[in-house]
Structure 1
Amino acid sequence: MSLRTPEAGGIEPIELSQDLPLPLYLQLAKHLRNQITSGKLAEYDALPGERELADRFGVSRVTVRKALSSLTAEGLLNKRQGSGWFINSSTHVEQRLSALTSFSEDMASRGLQSGTVWLDRSISRATPEEALLLNLRPGDQVARLNRLRLADKTPLAIELSVVPTKYLPDPFGFEGSLYQHLRNLGHPPHRALQRLSAVRLIPDLARQLELPEGAPALYIERRTFLEDGAPLEFVASHYRGDAYDFVVELNLT
């Protein structure tokens, strides 16, 4: 059975089907998510009430509430006590994985103003795992750069970079792009390997990214190499799941 909603309140019509394997609340959440991220529903706009949405979409209020709660967990909606549900369409970025760029360079290419809140800058001994990933000897020192990355003042990612001190002797010696600073020091990044996985944010990370605890995020580990194959950097990052799409172009060989 198919259910068709009327066009109202800026929300486009959609067909919800009880015959699909995807539950109705997830079908509704997907549709509203597309409306928000495409800009068809403007930031800070109020959604119609749960009863009105249920009538418009021909579903129960429980279904509507589950859909809205799902979007709230993703950071796309805010629920204000006594006032209803409001759009929270934060900065959305689409990043291709075919090029090696820094966060600052990536935001600049999109016309966004990048920003940084330093959480930690220090030098310490590499952990056994870091020593293995960076081909270091036990006791070798590394520079640690832990940053909250912003785009147009919106927090998008928490990024921990670990670089051997032979390549970055002074972690306080720059403020902008780390990759540009490494190029200036004569150590230009050449290639990288990345691993992506889906996670839910623990309380501290969620607070820093201004999201609810347990909100979805992308966890990315990257190893960056010099042209001669020597490991230059290890990065562990958490990206907002509601703000980032990673795109890969595939070609037939």
Structure 2
Amino acid sequence: MISRQSATPLYQQIEQYIVHEITAGTLAAHSRLSSEREMMKQWEVSRITVRQALNDLVLRGYLYSVPGKGFFVASKQEQPNEFAALLSFSEVAHAHKQVPNSRVLKAHVIPAPASLAHQLQVPPGTEIVELERLRYLDGQPVGIQSNWLPHSLCREILNNDFSTASLYSLLREQYGYQLTQGRMTISARLATEQEADLLALPRPGVVLTVDQITYNDQQLPLEVSLGLFHPQRYPLSVIQGQQSRL
């Protein structure tokens, strides 16, 4: 169920297990979770570890707490809405019982241009991974997502099949990074002809834009991303709250 040999922290493994049980329907809306003491015994972990996992899931919108009674599963309408820093596209889709997939548009290593080098805090010309995907939910295109990461921090990451793989899950589970903070800017602009074609937008089409820098537990930039989203198929509702432990 959880592994002490995994690079993923125990509290995150517990979170992933509970989210899976919720999205699979094993834990129904408004059902009560086991007590903290029962979870401590089940997973052989400390109360701090259990409490960290539960509190994070409250902040992420999967659970709510009732003083004196415990933690309960939030209804589907209360669960993560469309977009949250540090949640992957796949996690949000599964929370809504939608099927995510992607068409890879770019996946290669490039020299960092000055603007990206500045954001990633590396010298210009440093090798960075560039990943661009057309994102689908239930077969409909909803977004174009581009990600840039220092190649030295994620060697061989492009060996994965990003038509289905989650970048954030790989960074956490395969490379052992803790994604602790995301600085996000949301705006809107007219879509280019190519963007409108990919997203099946009417002309003139508008896209919602999300620029984000994601930091690790050393407060160093790990990834820069740009998301362009269909405003009707993927309206952005941001989950607020302290997410430093996600």
TM value normalised by structure 2: 0.60
- The unaligned stretches of length 5 or more in structure 1 are 1-92
Q: Secondary structure at the match of 1:244?
A: coil
Q: Out of 113, 123, 126, which is 2:112 matched to? A: 126
1:242 Cα shift? 1.1
Residues of 1 paired with 2:138 and 2:86: CA distance? 22
Residues of 2 paired with 1:114 and 1:193: CA distance? 24
**Residues 107-122 of structure 1 aligned to structure 2 (within 5 Å):** 107-122=93-108
**Does the alignment pair 1:148 with 2:134?**
yes
Q: Out of 223, 227, 235, which is 2:213 matched to? A: 223
Q: Secondary structure at the match of 2:152?
A: coil
Q: CA RMSD in A?
A: 1.8
**Residues 37-116 of structure 1 aligned to structure 2 (within 5 Å):** 94-97=81-84, 99-116=85-102
Which structure carries more helix by proportion? 2
User: Rg larger in 1 or in 2?
Assistant: 1
Residues of 2 paired with 1:199 and 1:179: CA distance? 26
Larger RCO (alpha carbons 8 Å, 6+ apart): 2
**Does the alignment pair 1:157 with 2:143?**
yes
Residues of 2 paired with 1:236 and 1:182: CA distance? 18
Q: Out of 224, 240, 245, which is 2:230 matched to? A: 240
Deviations 1:210-231 (Å, cap 9, x if unpaired)?
Answer: 1123212101100000011010
Residues of 1 paired with 2:134 and 2:83: CA distance? 21
Match of 1:201 in 2: 191
Residues of 2 paired with 1:249 and 1:155: CA distance? 23
1:250 Cα shift? 6.9
Which 4+ residue blocks in structure 1 deviate beyond 3 angstroms?
A: 248-251
Q: Secondary structure at the match of 1:208?
A: helix
Aligned residues: 158
Residues of 2 paired with 1:163 and 1:236: CA distance? 12
Q: Secondary structure at the match of 1:213?
A: coil
Match of 1:42 in 2: none
Q: 1:209 to 1:104 in 2, by over 3 A?
A: same
1:190 Cα shift? 1.6
Identity %: 25
Q: Secondary structure at the match of 1:245?
A: coil
